Homo-oligomer: A and B are copies of this chain.
Amino acid sequence: MEIKMKVGLIGLGKMGQVIGYRLKQKEIEVIGFDINNEAKQEAQKIGISIAANLQEIAEQSEIIWLMLPAGKIIDNVIQELLSNLKTDSIIIDGGNSNFIDSIRRYEYLKNHNINFLDCGVSGGIHTKDIGCSLMIGGDKEIFERVENIFKAIAMSNGYDYFGQSGTGHYIKMVHNGIEYALLESYAEGFNLLKNGHYKTLDLEKISNVWLHGAVIRSWILELCQNIFKTDQEFKNISGKIGGGQTGQWTVEEAGKQNVTVPLIEKSLEIRKWSQQTSGNYTTKLIALLRNQFGGHEVEKLD
């Protein structure tokens, strides 16, 4: 029996808006909620109707998509929804939650006859038009019931079900760990190109040639090229890199399992160092890259 595809979208920030937009494009009804007025207004602009409160969301939709920061807020929202949700409703957490928390929430909700899927979402704000990459964990039967939602949000071939509860957020956690190290790898190279033996190399031209046939071509390198088109000096920005939580979890989890991840660990250290010192050319480029894909703000220097 197919569930009525009306999604209650909680969290209308940058990525929440992407999710809402893509669902609307595929003619899936969306009712949204956020505590932030600006976010609500932005969401309304893309045709998302706004609920007055969480109760209204829970009453109107049997599929809830959470797009919220990791942590206690997820538990609070789940708690508030619980009394108003119909039995057998489905909550999907599309944020960067810790996979251990997701397993706990899955079990807690199961006891209340509510289903829970954990879904890692990658691709950043560009995905509005091209679609995201989605990694899903939980009960397979539940995944199948709402597969059309994932299909609507993802790039073609860009979603898959990976197994028991937790696997979606676990895979996304490792994805982010890799991402930390990739960003640092490119940024170190460009730092050496800019501040090494030669000082006048054109980094935009270098990125361009590398994007056409080189072993290291990638989407992150495309973002480097975008950045270098307008600035290669980075004189007026801080090199503080934001975030750090999923990388921290990756390193901790690797430690628990006796798996060595020296580059991911080093990238995390550098990120922390950058927050205390405002970093260097390398970390400035990383901050700019995070701004490119995630819309994360870059601190300006006066």
Contact = CB atoms under 8 A, between A and B. Distances in A.
A146 interface: no
A257 to B, nearest CB: 4
Interface stretch (A7-15, A40-48, A51-59, A197-205): A197-205
A264 B262 CA distance: 11
B181 A213 contact: no
Contact of A157 (B208, B215, B216, B257): B208
Given A192-B257, A218-B219, A264-B189, A213 B122 contact: yes
B257 A263 contact: no
A130 interface: yes
A216 B182 contact: yes
A93 to B, nearest CB: 17
Given A191-B261, A261-B191, A212 B270 contact: no
Contact of A216 (B99, B160, B178, B206): B178
A174 B207 CA distance: 12
A197 B157 contact: no
Taking the full assembly, how many copies of this chain does it contain? 2
Contacts of A274: none
Contact of A171 (B171, B195, B206): B206
A263 B267 contact: yes
Given A192-B177, A217-B219, A156 B259 contact: no
A218 to B, nearest CB: 3
A237 interface: no
Contact of A188 (B170, B214, B264, B280): B264
A196 B254 contact: yes
B127 A213 contact: yes
SS of A interface (majority)? helix
Contacts of A267: 263
The listed residue with most B CB atoms (<10 A of its CB), out of A166, A195, A200, A217, is A217
A9 B49 CA distance: 67
Interface string A15-59: 000000000000000000000000000000000000000000000
A96 to B, nearest CB: 12
The listed residue with most B CB atoms (<10 A of its CB), out of A208, A210, A219, A256, is A210
A87 to B, nearest CB: 30
Interface of A: 99, 122-124, 127, 130-135, 154-160, 162-163, 166-167, 170-171, 174-175, 177-179, 181-182, 184-186, 188-189, 191-193, 195-198, 200-202, 205-206, 208-221, 250, 253-254, 256-257, 259-264, 266-267, 270, 280, 282, 293
